[in-house]
Amino acid sequence: MTRWGAVLAVALSVVLASLDLTAVVVALPLMGADLGAGPTVTQWVLHAYNLPMVALSIPAGRWLDRAGHRPAFVLSVVGFGVASLAIALAPTAELVLAGRAAQGVFSALVGAVTMPVIGAVVHPRHRGRAMGLVLTLIPLSGVAGPALGGVLTDAFGWRSVFLINVPVVLVAVLVGLRTIPRSGQGLPWPGKRLLLEAAVVGVGATALFVHVYLLPVTVVALVVWLRLPEARPVRDMLRRPRLSLALVSMPLIIVGIAALNFLVPYLIADRPAVVIGVAVLSMSAGMAVFSPLAGVLADRFGARPVAAAGAVVALVGTALLLPVDATTPTVDLVWRLAVLGVGHGLFAGPNAAAILAETPPDLVGTSGGLTSLLRTLGFSAGPALAATIGAFTPTLIALLVVTAVGITASAAQLRWSLRADDLPFERRAN
């Protein structure tokens, strides 16, 4: 039986983590002035959140493979709420940074626990709809974050951006306690090996965030991590073709919408702010409308065909933007961006449902952490790619190539033969 209340609790936690990634951007100038911190310090308000979220996604997922879903969910959400309250009450910039780092830690747990909880409480026939709902909220929350942060900062000051999390946390925890079943497992101590893994991944992530010239450090850290025994579950997962193809296709499709979400405001910067907002929101509108439909279609016809179709629509949406320039009429731009959003809406939920179906039951936490990491990297790589290339049309050409590779990976899942030892785990158990 599907427990939709538990899905709601997970959705609320995902909204919190996604909103705090972007809502704080608008509050940074006022925060810096209030705490006497310059731009160099306030930019670390963003990095202090992102770094632990990236560094701990996979270790958090591996830890969750041994933890109970219910206590892990409560820990992640309550920890996020306590960190938010600490930031709102912080008298110095140093304490704000410490609070943001704590938020990032618990945000990594939120991202990793999503898939295990949904796998435990949602019937396989309904997972397309459940994953579609949750994954639609991630980009929508990210887009809504700056607007919400601006309204709260103007009305109540920068601390309200963090205080608003507390009542949402309370609701999510209460709903989670009532709807997420007990599994008999508690919260195991992380252990030295897990902390070592987190440290290695953290060094690589930090180097990547500090400067692109430190990319060799990231590569070395990745090689070291892959040689650790703790990386074996991830290596084993990536050896399953259908699972690895679904994982690889995800960031490749995400990067397109993330890049254009960053680039479009610069392309039409001379137009009124309302027009720019409508253009950006058209992508989110396409996602919001078609993601629930994608879940229904995935539950009826299978997740992989719907995900592959969504990837193709995303490619078409990107190609439709090739004639666009700064003089393109707003209506013409909006419908093209909406097509791209439709593609992402059709792809995200079904692809995540396919990942969950292919994941061994004892590695759902690891899969959730890896999925969260790849999703974050996709959303981060998009703006970085757009900023590096700069010009609109060359960026689109690069995105077409990246999206085409993503389509190839997604479509390859359909061509892979359904041998008896390669069936989804739910069907294999029947």
Task: List CB contacts of 275: < 8 A, sequence separation 6 or more.
Answer: 268, 330
On whether the CB atoms of residues 367 and 355 are closer than 8 A, the answer is yes
| Together in a domain, 132 and 250 | no
Place of tokens 């689109």: 396
Return the number of other C-beta atoms located less than 10 Å from residue 275's C-beta: 14
| Together in a domain, 163 and 251 | no
CA atoms lying within 13 Å on the CB side of residue 397 = 6
- For the record, the structure tokens of 78 come out as 């309550």
Q: What pLDDT shows up at residue 84? A: 96
| Together in a domain, 181 and 197 | no
Domain of residue 264 covers: 240-430
- Residue 29 CA to residue 299 CA, distance in Å, equals 46
**Domain CATH number, residue 280:** 1.20.1250.20
| Together in a domain, 42 and 182 | yes
- Residue 284 CA to residue 335 CA, distance in Å, equals 12
| Together in a domain, 124 and 101 | yes
- For the record, the structure tokens of 147 come out as 């607007």
- The answer to pTM > 0.85 is no
| Together in a domain, 213 and 343 | no
| Together in a domain, 209 and 112 | no
Burial profile 291-319: b = 16 or more Cβ within 10 angstroms, e = fewer:
bbbbbebbbeebbbbbbbbbbbbbbebbb
Q: Tens of pLDDT along 216-241?
A: 888 898 888 888 887 888 888 888 88
Angle formed by the axes of helices 4-35 and 69-89, to 10°? 20
Helical residues (DSSP H) of 268-415, grouped into ranges: 273-301, 303-320, 330-358, 364-389, 392-415
- Residue 217 CA to residue 233 CA, distance in Å, equals 23
Asked whether the CA dihedral 159, 161, 164, 166 is positive or negative, the reply is: negative
On whether the CB atoms of residues 142 and 18 are closer than 8 A, the answer is yes
| Together in a domain, 345 and 211 | no
Q: Mind listing the pLDDT tens digit of every residue in the chain (430 residues)?
A: 668 889 999 999 999 988 888 888 888 888 989 998 888 788 888 888 988 888 888 888 888 888 888 999 999 999 999 999 999 999 999 999 999 999 999 999 998 898 888 888 888 888 888 888 888 888 778 777 888 888 888 889 999 999 999 999 999 999 999 999 887 677 888 778 888 888 888 788 777 766 667 778 888 988 888 888 878 888 888 888 888 888 888 888 888 888 888 888 888 888 887 888 888 888 888 888 888 888 888 888 888 889 889 989 998 988 998 888 888 898 999 999 999 999 989 998 888 888 888 888 888 888 888 888 888 888 777 887 887 787 778 888 888 888 888 777 777 766 653 443 444 445 444 4
Task: List CB contacts of 44: < 8 A, sequence separation 6 or more.
Answer: 97
- The three-state secondary structure class of 293 is helix
Place of tokens 């069907």: 427
DSSP conformation class of 157: -
On whether the CB atoms of residues 121 and 2 are closer than 8 A, the answer is yes
Q: Given 154, 171, 188, which residue is the final one in a domain?
A: 188
| Together in a domain, 5 and 129 | yes
| Together in a domain, 149 and 24 | yes
Place of tokens 């209460």: 174
125 residue type, one letter: R
| Together in a domain, 39 and 169 | yes
- For the record, the structure tokens of 248 come out as 């690889």
- Residue 415 CA to residue 430 CA, distance in Å, equals 23
- For the record, the structure tokens of 267 come out as 């392309």
- Residue 427 CA to residue 381 CA, distance in Å, equals 36
Q: What angle do CA 64, 307, 404 make, to 5 degrees?
A: 110
- For the record, the structure tokens of 368 come out as 């959730």
Work out how many domains the chain is built from and give that number: 3
Task: List CB contacts of 324: < 8 A, sequence separation 6 or more.
Answer: 267, 332, 333, 336, 392
- Residue 88 CA to residue 161 CA, distance in Å, equals 8
Q: What pLDDT shows up at residue 173? A: 95
| Together in a domain, 148 and 31 | yes
